[in-house]
Amino acid sequence: MIAKYRFGHPFPTDAVVQELPLSAGAPACFTVTEEEDGTHFRYALDKEDCVFGLGEQARGINKRGWIYENYNADDPNINEARQSLYGSHNFLLIAGEKPFGVFFDSADRVLFDIGYTDPDELVVVAKNVDVYLVEGESALAVVHAFRTLIGQSYIPPKWAFGYGQSRWGYMDEGDIRAVFEGFRDNDLPLDAIYMDIDYMLDYKDFSVHPARFPDLGKLASDLKAEGVYLVPIIDAAVKVQEGYSVYEEGLANGYFCTDSEGIPYVVAVWPGESMLPDVLNPAARLWFGSQYKALLDQGIEGFWNDMNEPAIFYSKGRLAAAIDYVVSVKGQNLDTHAFNKVSYAINSLHNSPEDYAALHHNVEGKRVCHAEVHNLYGYNMTRGAAEYFAEYAPDRRYLLFSRASYIGAHRYGGIWTGDNSSWWSHLRHNIAQMPGMDMCGFLFAGADIGGHCYNTTEDLLLRWLAFGVFTPLMRNHTTNGSRDQEPYRFKDIAAFRSILSARYALLPYLYSEYVKCALRGEMLFKPLCFEYPEDRRARTVEDQLFVGGSLMIAPVCDQNAAGRYVYLPARMKLVRMKNGRPCSTKVLEKGDYYIPVALDEIVFFVREGTVVPLAKPAKNASSVDFTRLHWLKFIAAPTAYELALDDGFTKSGIEKGLTAVTVEP
């Protein structure tokens, strides 16, 4: 049962795919008041209630005890104090006596005070919002109903489930080929190499630097012959430069965001002065999407969309004013206050709310202020690309994921969680983010494994990869100038080989579970209490997850730890894997255990009554043989398992590929 209520005049987000009649009044469980800053929705929390959701947000799986503000933010300083991250996913699941979900569908900012001001109260503040109240018998049933409301999650090609290597700093074709050779020569599996901004000429979208990449098409086809795909980055902003066709076409057609008078608004990002494609205007969105053709035509089949909150380093107008101000105080003896004003004049230029307020979209001939629809920008950039791919090759699946997002974007692509850091706490945060993103439809998700900012360590990368084995997007990425982060740069390459092999051995399971969850609106990563709602202890576990129907994982997240304590909410079979092969199993009763986990080992737990298909590890996803399987079993009777045996790249093959097999004990 889903009821829809409307407050104010919401901007259409297209987050939802089902037409529902509007219910009168307000949802009965909320006290609703109109206040100066928006509509307030208050809900009395029971002491026992857990509050889940909010997608990729900060903090733990249970969101209770903090105040969050969903307003897409380009800010790499991810920490517990943060209220907004790169994506805004306004769905909450209140898991108490009778679980229910609530989706605040607003293009504008939404505030969630989840027991921060008053520990026993949930307060949501939104303006111009459609509120969907979602009922169900259990937390999983509520999520299922919500996911049906928002439509089917994106399914990438199978190769995108392989391991990807990235870094900001691969400068040219030689660097890319060296990465390929590093993996090949060390017998490490690989499916994708990512190209960060340096492949472009002057950071111009859809250009390729002619000296650094003299023949991108040949590079792409050489690597593809080895089973490795190139995945270039696409940034939102388009460089202002005469003679640059993307800029000139966009300008001539009125496809860029403007000021309130309709004059194109000049911002600056990597390429310097730039303009932002008006992706909320359907014609401009499709036009920007059609620019991907330049790379598709060279054999590129995957893209990551970046800087699409949108990130603004400064705007032309405000920089000029700030410089005037700084010049005006030249020669003065500045006291602290005056110095702070100088420093603020420059430091406040970045992602300024004033620029978001000045920027406008053209929606059906009407000028719409960006600040009020901010959260839809990255979503529509990704949607434009996906809409164009469907024209370019209607039945083909492409890899596509984005940094900024809003619910609805999950139908068009995946997300990565942006610029995290090489910190153990961020590995832990990555674990906590996965179920939230799943609830909101973003099944194809992952973090920068090893950490983006700062320097990683060998053990952090190994432990993070051991978790990343289970995340649909498994990409190691790091920032410019950080320590080398490719597995073959470290001492114990055999340990990395062992961990990466597990991904490929588990691929028949991980891919089949993904496809089924996407088609059926289910969660891939489930907190323990979603499966064991009566188990009070399970509610407090924040660092273990169920992955699909058969497995539970308990990643090691502490440096120098030789293992960890694990809570088993039921009898399970512990499995140890090395080099992609199970090397020992042991049945454990419900309870607490200290489980040693070596750096080169994958440890997981198989649920009673289930099976896990394993393949022989391979050098890339396309070479994994899904038909010759070894079954891990914890069953007493014949058990059915549905494998996804599609071709891995067409859309039409997906459902037909689902094949039920019966596994004997």
> Considering only residues 306, 355, 513, 646, which one is a binding residue for ligand GLC as defined by CB under 6 A?
306
Distance in Å, CB of 481 to ligand GLC, minimum: 11
399-402 β-sheet, strand order:
445-446, 414-416, 399-402, 302-306, 229-235, 192-195, 163-165, 474-476, 448-449
Distance in Å, CB of 440 to ligand GLC, minimum: 20
Distance in Å, CB of 281 to ligand GLC, minimum: 25
Q: How many CB atoms lie within 10 A of CB 209?
A: 18
Rounded Cα distance between 159 and 511, Å, is 10
Ramachandran sector of residue 481 (left: φ over 0; alpha: ψ -120 to 50; beta: rest) = left
Which residues between 62 and 81 bind ligand GLC (CB under 6 A)? Answer: none
Q: Does 419 bind ligand GLC (CB under 6 A)?
A: yes
Return the structure tokens found at 470. Answer: 């289970």
If the CB atoms of residues 418 and 548 are measured against ligand GLC, the closer one turns out to be 418
**Across-strand partners of 584?**
576
Nearest to 359 by CA among 265, 434, 223: 265
If the CB atoms of residues 52 and 270 are measured against ligand GLC, the closer one turns out to be 270
If the CB atoms of residues 86 and 626 are measured against ligand GLC, the closer one turns out to be 86
Rounded Cα distance between 244 and 236, Å, is 16
Q: Under rule CB under 6 A, how many of the chain's residues touch ligand GLC?
A: 10
Strand residues in 14-96 grouped as ranges (E) = 31-35, 38-44, 50-53, 66-70, 87-88, 91-95
Distance in Å, CB of 203 to ligand GLC, minimum: 9
| x/- map, 478-497, ligand GLC, by CB under 6 A | -x------------------
Distance in Å, CB of 289 to ligand GLC, minimum: 20
Distance in Å, CB of 194 to ligand GLC, minimum: 9
If the CB atoms of residues 313 and 532 are measured against ligand GLC, the closer one turns out to be 313
Q: Does 56 bind ligand GLC (CB under 6 A)?
A: no
If the CB atoms of residues 309 and 355 are measured against ligand GLC, the closer one turns out to be 309
If the CB atoms of residues 91 and 303 are measured against ligand GLC, the closer one turns out to be 303
Q: Do the beta carbons of residue 606 and residue 634 sit within 8 Å?
A: yes
If the CB atoms of residues 59 and 477 are measured against ligand GLC, the closer one turns out to be 477
If the CB atoms of residues 308 and 620 are measured against ligand GLC, the closer one turns out to be 308
If the CB atoms of residues 430 and 479 are measured against ligand GLC, the closer one turns out to be 479
Q: Does 593 bind ligand GLC (CB under 6 A)?
A: no
If the CB atoms of residues 304 and 634 are measured against ligand GLC, the closer one turns out to be 304
If the CB atoms of residues 170 and 467 are measured against ligand GLC, the closer one turns out to be 170
Q: Distance from first CA to last CA of the chain, Å, rounded?
A: 39
| x/- map, 158-177, ligand GLC, by CB under 6 A | ----------x---------
Rounded Cα distance between 28 and 22, Å, is 14
Pairing of strands 110-114, 66-70: antiparallel
Q: What are phi and psi of 512, to 5 degrees?
A: -65, -45
Nearest to 154 by CA among 448, 519, 649, 526: 519
Which residues between 334 and 373 bind ligand GLC (CB under 6 A)? Answer: none
Which residues between 198 and 237 bind ligand GLC (CB under 6 A)? Answer: 233
Helix (H) or strand (E) run with residue 339 in it: helix 336-347
Which residues between 184 and 203 bind ligand GLC (CB under 6 A)? Answer: 196-197
Placement of tokens 């795909």 in the chain: 229
If the CB atoms of residues 374 and 633 are measured against ligand GLC, the closer one turns out to be 374
Distance in Å, CB of 22 to ligand GLC, minimum: 39
Distance in Å, CB of 607 to ligand GLC, minimum: 36
Nearest to 349 by CA among 408, 267, 417: 267
Nearest to 193 by CA among 222, 215, 214: 222
**Across-strand partners of 650?**
396
If the CB atoms of residues 49 and 306 are measured against ligand GLC, the closer one turns out to be 306
The DSSP code sequence of 163-210 is: EEE--TT--SHHHHHHHHHHHHHTT----EEEE-GGGSSTT-TT---T
Return the structure tokens found at 48. Answer: 């026992």
Distance in Å, CB of 478 to ligand GLC, minimum: 8
State which residue has the least CB distance to ligand GLC.
168
Residues ≥6 apart with Cβ < 8 Å to 242: 248
Q: Do the beta carbons of residue 473 and residue 497 sit within 8 Å?
A: no
Which residues between 385 and 404 bind ligand GLC (CB under 6 A)? Answer: 403
Return the structure tokens found at 123. Answer: 């307060």
Which residues between 109 and 168 bind ligand GLC (CB under 6 A)? Answer: 168
Distance in Å, CB of 166 to ligand GLC, minimum: 8
Q: What is the CA radius of gyration of the chain?
A: 25
Rounded Cα distance between 497 and 465, Å, is 11
> Considering only residues 418, 472, 549, 582, which one is a binding residue for ligand GLC as defined by CB under 6 A?
418
Distance in Å, CB of 449 to ligand GLC, minimum: 12
Which residues between 445 and 484 bind ligand GLC (CB under 6 A)? Answer: 477, 479
Rounded Cα distance between 146 and 2, Å, is 8
Distance in Å, CB of 168 to ligand GLC, minimum: 4
Distance in Å, CB of 455 to ligand GLC, minimum: 15
Distance in Å, CB of 183 to ligand GLC, minimum: 20
Q: What are phi and psi of 322, to 5 degrees?
A: -65, -40
Distance in Å, CB of 471 to ligand GLC, minimum: 16
If the CB atoms of residues 292 and 401 are measured against ligand GLC, the closer one turns out to be 401
If the CB atoms of residues 208 and 538 are measured against ligand GLC, the closer one turns out to be 208
Q: Which residues bind ligand GLC (CB under 6 A)?
A: 168, 196-197, 233, 306, 403, 418-419, 477, 479
